[in-house]
Amino acid sequence: MTAPHFPRRQLSRRGFIGAVAATAATAAVASAAALARPLPAAAAGPAPSAQPRPLIFGHRGASALRPEHTLASYAKAIADGADYIEPDLVCTRDGVLVARHEANLTATTDVATRAAFASRRTSKTIDGQTQPGWYVDDFTLAELKTLRAIERIPVDRPGSAQYDGFFQVLTFEEIIEFAAAQAATTGRLIGLVPELKSSTYFAGVGLALEDRFIATLAAHDYTRRAPIEIQSFEVANLKYVRERLGHRANLRLMQLVGSGATRPADVAAAGGTLSFAAMCTPAGMRDIAQYADVIAPATRAVIALREDESLGVPSALVDDAHAAGLRLETWTFRPENHFLARDFRNGAGPHARNEAGSIAEIRRYLDTGLDGFFTDDPALGRAALGLAAPV
Interatomic CA distance for residues 118 and 132, integer angstroms:
12
Which residues form the domain of 264? 50-103+170-384
* pLDDT greater than 50 at residue 45: no
Helix (H, G, I), strand (E, B) or coil at 95: coil
Give the Cβ contact number of residue 25 at 10 Å.
Answer: 10
User: For the domain that residue 276 is a member of, what is the CATH number?
Assistant: 3.20.20.190
Average pLDDT in the 86-107 region?
98
Average pLDDT in the 235-258 region?
97
What are residue 100's phi and psi, to 5 degrees? -145, 150
Interatomic CA distance for residues 169 and 161, integer angstroms:
16
* pLDDT greater than 50 at residue 25: no
C-alpha pair distances (Å), 269 with each of 101, 129, 200, 208: 21, 13, 8, 15
Residue 362 located in a structural domain: yes
* pLDDT greater than 60 at residue 23: no
Q: Kindly tell me the burial class for residue 318, based on how many C-beta atoms sit within 10 Å of its own C-beta (0-12, 13-18, 19 or more).
A: buried
pLDDT of residue 47: 40
Q: Give the tens place of pLDDT for each residue, 325-360.
A: 999 999 999 999 999 999 999 999 999 999 999 999
Q: How many residues does the chain have?
A: 391
Interatomic CA distance for residues 257 and 232, integer angstroms:
8
Interatomic CA distance for residues 373 and 54, integer angstroms:
7
* pLDDT greater than 90 at residue 8: no
pTM here? Answer: 0.89
Interatomic CA distance for residues 139 and 92, integer angstroms:
6
Question: What's the angle, vertex CA 229, arms to CA 211 and CA 69, rounded to 5?
Answer: 80
Residue 259 located in a structural domain: yes
Residues 6+ apart with CB under 8 A from 132: 106, 121, 122, 123
| 389/262: higher pLDDT | 262
* pLDDT greater than 50 at residue 243: yes
Residue 156 located in a structural domain: no
C-alpha pair distances (Å), 29 with each of 6, 165, 177, 257: 20, 25, 11, 40
Q: Kindly tell me the burial class for residue 371, based on how many C-beta atoms sit within 10 Å of its own C-beta (0-12, 13-18, 19 or more).
A: buried
* pLDDT greater than 70 at residue 168: yes
Residue 220 located in a structural domain: yes
Total structural domains in the chain? 1
Residue 376 located in a structural domain: yes
C-alpha pair distances (Å), 203 with each of 93, 121, 126, 351, 368: 12, 21, 12, 38, 38
Report DSSP letters for 117-174, one per residue.
GGGG-EEEEETTEEEEE-BGGGS-HHHHTTS-B--S-TTT-HHHHTTTTS-PPPBHHH
pLDDT of residue 354: 98
Q: Are strands 372-375 and 122-126 parallel, antiparallel or unpaired?
A: unpaired
Averaged confidence pLDDT in the chain: 90
**Position 391 confidence tier, pLDDT thresholds 50, 70, 90:** confident
Residue 321 located in a structural domain: yes
Interatomic CA distance for residues 30 and 185, integer angstroms:
6
Interatomic CA distance for residues 116 and 113, integer angstroms:
9
* pLDDT greater than 60 at residue 103: yes
**Position 39 confidence tier, pLDDT thresholds 50, 70, 90:** low
* pLDDT greater than 60 at residue 146: yes
* pLDDT greater than 80 at residue 18: no
Residue 185 located in a structural domain: yes
Residue 333 located in a structural domain: yes
Q: Give the tens place of pLDDT for each residue, 251-305.
A: 999 999 999 999 999 999 999 999 999 999 999 999 999 999 999 999 999 999 9
